[in-house]
Amino acid sequence: MDLLPVEIKVNVEGDVAAALSALGASGRATTVRHIWFAEDRDGVAEGQVLLLESGVILRFRIGGDPDDLTVKLRPCRRSQLVGRFSAPFEAKPFTYKIEQDWSANGRVLAASLVHGHAPGVLSGAVAPDGDPATVVDALEDQFLHACTPSVQLDGLVALGPVRSTKIDDVPLDDMDVDLEAWSAAGLDFLEASIRVKPKDEDDAEKLAERAERKQRKLSEAVQARGVVLSEHPENKTQRILTALAEANA
């Protein structure tokens, strides 16, 4: 079985602007986008995020070049990923990734199918009277049907927008770190992340050991700059989606 890249994330608690400055992001190029998530309308009416709880994330990112819709399974199992979705592929405008997702709260597997769109194509689907399911195309529908057949995309509502500010490749010690700040529903989050890619000489044990070293280095580098790491048990997607659902209940 092929080894999978590891995305390592640490979440920051407290003043996001001060943390960005402390981590050396000031004056660097930023990408600002707005993010919406599709959720089950009936669940949101009760303040619940049923799609997320079933391990499915539908994310719209608007304001980029291109805009994109991501259908993600997280957490998932390798055995779920069947047929053409058992291995990563790129077939423009689609990119399909499988990777390990590590944070202080654990390690999970994530599979995501990203579909790039021209600016403006997705806007109607996330409008107050829009239907997010209308822009889920045949391949994304096939992905869900094949890999998580119990999930149905009926009666969806878009939650957002979340303002995303992303700064890529910020040098931190000997690492290039991506920083992404999210703001919505009175909440502000900052996530620092790096990716560890398998090398030719790696086996599963070597890759895990290298990723563990990188995870420690990332946490230590952030804390060494006076930035406080979050000890919250939920990741930023869970926290912000729950807040948006409660605000819309």
Tokens of 203: 């086996």
129 inside domain = yes
Total residues belonging to the chain: 249
Q: Looking at the domain assignment, is residue 111 inside a domain?
A: yes
In a domain, 22, yes or no: yes
Joined together, the tokens standing for residue 96 give 């399909």
Note the pLDDT tens digit of each residue in 32-86: 999 999 999 999 999 999 999 999 999 999 997 789 999 999 999 999 999 999 9
In angstroms, what CA-CA distances link 93 with 49, 68, 90, 107, 217? 29, 9, 8, 29, 35
- Asked if residue 77 is part of any domain, the answer here is yes
> Across the chain, which distance is largest between two alpha carbons, in Å?
53
pLDDT of 249:
74
Question: Domain limits at 85?
Answer: 6-248
Task: Please compute the mean of the pLDDT values over residues 182-199 and round it to a whole number.
Answer: 94
Is the Cβ–Cβ distance between 87 and 26 less than 8 Å? no
Domain presence at residue 1? no
pLDDT in tens, 199-242: 999 999 999 999 999 999 999 999 999 999 998 888 889 999 99
**pLDDT for residue 5 is more than 80:** yes
pLDDT for position 235: 87
Q: Is the pLDDT of residue 187 over 80?
A: yes
Whose tokens are 């690492």? That residue is 175
Q: What is the pLDDT of residue 241?
A: 94
- Report the domain count for the chain: 1
Residue 228, phi then psi, degrees to nearest 5? -90, 130
Contact present, 60 and 35 (Cβ < 8 Å): yes
Using CA atoms, how far apart are residues 126 and 138, in angstroms rounded to an integer?
A: 19
pLDDT digits (tens, 9 = 90+) for 101-138: 999 889 999 999 999 999 999 999 999 999 999 999 99
pLDDT of amino acid 163: 96
- Establish if 150 belongs to a structural domain: yes
- Is there a domain that residue 28 lies in? yes
What's the CATH number where 206 sits? 2.40.320.10
Q: How far is CA 188 from the centre of its chain?
A: 16
In a domain, 181, yes or no: yes
Strands of the chain, DSSP E: 6-12, 31-40, 56-62, 67-76, 89-91, 94-103, 106-117, 156-172, 175-184, 187-196
